[in-house]
Amino acid sequence: MISWSRYFIPTLKESPADAEIASHRLLIRAGLVRKVGGGLYAFLPIGLRVMRKLSQICREEMERAGAIELSMPHLHPAELWREGPRWPAAREIMFRADHAGAGRRGGGEPEFVLGPTHEEIITPLMKAEISSYRDLPKNFFQIATKFRNEIRPRFGLMRAREFVMKDGYSFDADDAGAMRSYGAMKEAYGRFFARSGLKAVVVEADTGVMGGSASHEFMVPAEVGDDDVVHCDACGYAANREKASSGVVAAGAAPAPPAGPTEEFATPGVVTIAALAAPPHGVPAESQFKTLVYMGDGKPFVVILRGSDELEEAKLGGLGFGLWRPATPEEIEPVMGARPGSLGAVRGTIRNPSALAGIFADEAIRLVGNGTTGANRDGFHLRCVNVARDLEITRFGDFRRVRAGEPCPKCGKPLLITRAIEVGHIFKLGTKYSEKYGAVYTDDQKQSHTLVMGCYGIGISRTLQACIEQSHDADGIVWPWAIAPFQVLVCLLDPQAPEAVELGGRLAAAAEGAGADVLLDDRAERPGVKFKDADLVGIPLRVTVGSRGLKEGIVEMKWRNQKEVIKVPLAEAEARIAAAVAGAQST
């Protein structure tokens, strides 16, 4: 039992100016964290208590699923990253950690980096330790601080530069084994979020820079989330928008026949889809081809979309480039022969087609059939361009961004889009890392094989905030029982009265005896202050001992998530509280 007067819970009436969203304000107002710098937070005592509870639940579920805890350094030799498969992309978000002394300040390549995750550490580590099929499968995890130089930290712990993450890595002999490990983690994640009192949904996800063949994210629906989840309530399809597809393009649609000869027409000053759609040209956006030029690992490539569609940049990851970005007009003109606004991919009009790494077309352009596109000559477009006859296409793919209301790819019902916070992400990595570092094992036929890996992350600190975002009201946080910093608050309204103190002590002991973490509010504050603080901090069960009740021969129990005050006769109080605790513990 901890007494509030000797503890440290600095609550605030007003919220700091830089806290925009409810969970961020409450984190600070309820005294869980304080900002130390941009994207850097100190956990105050009750914030730390919640972190510990989340970590412990996570640990239990990992171990139940057969994963083994270990701990790796936060400071990584940059060498290991340079040898890895994603250094060019990953270094953009990494902190360098060189020797700070005047004598050896690093100007060039970093000597050390702060770990944003640990694939580059555990793969070479396990390369040395796992050599036989008898050692497999293995699944390791740690709960540790990660460092990522987010370009724009925001929303408190939601996107911080330093944060706590559970990261795990599985090693299997083959694909089937890796699938089993992946499945076990997916199940364990579901249990972790359920036990922690969060409503998280599983969605198909993009693998991004991680690489790998399959991926799911665990999402907490919330307006303030960074991600969009595309989902279908009819059949249960759910995917991150970056990954989601829709059924706008009927599978196996026959190519439209040419509608006539292609002809060029003058479009001076028309450099946008909207301008071409407006008078005098009046070409509807869905009848236009949108031609975008990107740089992939230093080489230009073209993406063609329907004029009315937007590119989903993450989908370019499937093309095999390590890094990609929009090309600049200066890079585009020598290759295409025109500047953005007059670009097209009609056969024969590209000035230097051999410079291109490919021309990739979104499936949806089949719906255009015969459309209008740039002539690769500034101020001119081409009409009656037939997809099959005229466009130079390396291959088709899904590159467009899904919009709400489009048909579900599985069942055809309208898709919904919801904002969400990503709290967990699992990847079936395959051999991307093990191959790079030469992590192999020998099977029972003396044959050497590459280890098949998976990696699994849960943002612990982000989960804490997502939980507040999901569970609060106008007065403060409403903690789920399992992760509440304290579960029972015994509130002494008259801490000077010896009989009240004695009674409060007994009630607190009863709650503690039943397994609850108990906080005793013995501060010399007015009742209003205590009630406001109790609601703000969000302790699930409040037991109030006050002179008014004592005259009646009762104490009060009140659940934070309910309105009613339950009056309990003094004689039953200890038993009733213990029973309430026992009931809450078992759910």
Per CB under 7 A, the list member of 58, 210, 292, 415 interacting with RNA is 210
Q: How far is the CB of 4 from RNA (least distance, A)?
A: 11
The CA distance from 433 to 146, in Å, is 20
Q: How far is the CB of 425 from RNA (least distance, A)?
A: 5
* Type and span of the H or E element at 354: none
Tokens of 223: 């307006």
Cβ count within 10 A of residue 265: 11
Q: Does 451 bind RNA (CB under 7 A)?
A: no
Q: How far is the CB of 205 from RNA (least distance, A)?
A: 7
Q: Does 574 bind RNA (CB under 7 A)?
A: no
Beta carbons of 511 and 227 less than 8 angstroms apart: no
x/- letters, 301..320, toward RNA (CB under 7 A): ------------xx------
x/- letters, 494..513, toward RNA (CB under 7 A): --------------------
The residue among 16 and 513 lying less far from RNA, judged by its C-beta, is: 16
Q: Rounded to 5 degrees, what are φ and ψ at 212? A: 110, 180
Tokens of 353: 């087609």
Burial class, 499, CB count within 10 angstroms (exposed 0-12 / middle 13-18 / buried 19+) = exposed
Q: How far is the CB of 525 from RNA (least distance, A)?
A: 7
Cβ count within 10 A of residue 320: 10
The residue among 383 and 558 lying less far from RNA, judged by its C-beta, is: 558
Strands (E), 98-255: 112-114, 138-147, 162-172, 201-204, 214-221, 227-231, 238-240
Per CB under 7 A, the list member of 269, 528, 564, 586 interacting with RNA is 528
The residue among 41 and 441 lying less far from RNA, judged by its C-beta, is: 41
Contacts of 583 (CB under 8 A, 6+ apart): none
x/- letters, 226..245, toward RNA (CB under 7 A): x-------------------
Nearest to 126 by CA among 569, 579, 429: 429
Per CB under 7 A, the list member of 124, 371, 457, 540 interacting with RNA is 457
Owner of token pair 């922690």:
196
Per CB under 7 A, the list member of 547, 572, 575, 583 interacting with RNA is 547
Q: Does 463 bind RNA (CB under 7 A)?
A: no
Does 137 sit behind a cis peptide bond, omega within 30 degrees of 0 on the bond before it? yes
Q: Does 74 bind RNA (CB under 7 A)?
A: no
Q: How far is the CB of 184 from RNA (least distance, A)?
A: 20
Q: Does 527 bind RNA (CB under 7 A)?
A: yes
The residue among 263 and 499 lying less far from RNA, judged by its C-beta, is: 499
The CA distance from 131 to 114, in Å, is 29
Tokens of 271: 């450099």
Beta carbons of 480 and 30 less than 8 angstroms apart: no
The residue among 31 and 247 lying less far from RNA, judged by its C-beta, is: 31
Pick out residues in 145-164 that bind RNA (CB under 7 A): 146, 148, 150-155, 159
Which window, 193-201, 352-360, 525-533, 574-582, contacts RNA (CB under 7 A)?
Answer: 525-533
The residue among 89 and 509 lying less far from RNA, judged by its C-beta, is: 89
Contacts of 472 (CB under 8 A, 6+ apart): 22, 23, 26, 478, 538
Which window, 46-54, 101-109, 131-139, 543-551, contacts RNA (CB under 7 A)?
Answer: 543-551
The CA distance from 317 to 454, in Å, is 19
Pick out residues in 21-40 that bind RNA (CB under 7 A): 29, 35, 37-39
The CA distance from 400 to 306, in Å, is 9
Nearest to 398 by CA among 285, 230, 234, 271: 230
- Determine how β-strand 518-521 pairs with β-strand 541-545: unpaired
Number of residues in contact with RNA under rule CB under 7 A: 62
Per CB under 7 A, the list member of 309, 556, 573, 584 interacting with RNA is 556
Per CB under 7 A, the list member of 26, 46, 78, 90 interacting with RNA is 90
User: Sign of dihedral through CA atoms 500, 502, 503, 508?
Assistant: positive
Name the residues that contact RNA, by CB under 7 A: 11-18, 20, 29, 35, 37-39, 86, 89-90, 92-93, 116-117, 119, 146, 148, 150-155, 159, 165, 167, 208-210, 226, 313-314, 425, 457, 475, 493, 526-529, 531-536, 544, 546-550, 556, 558, 565
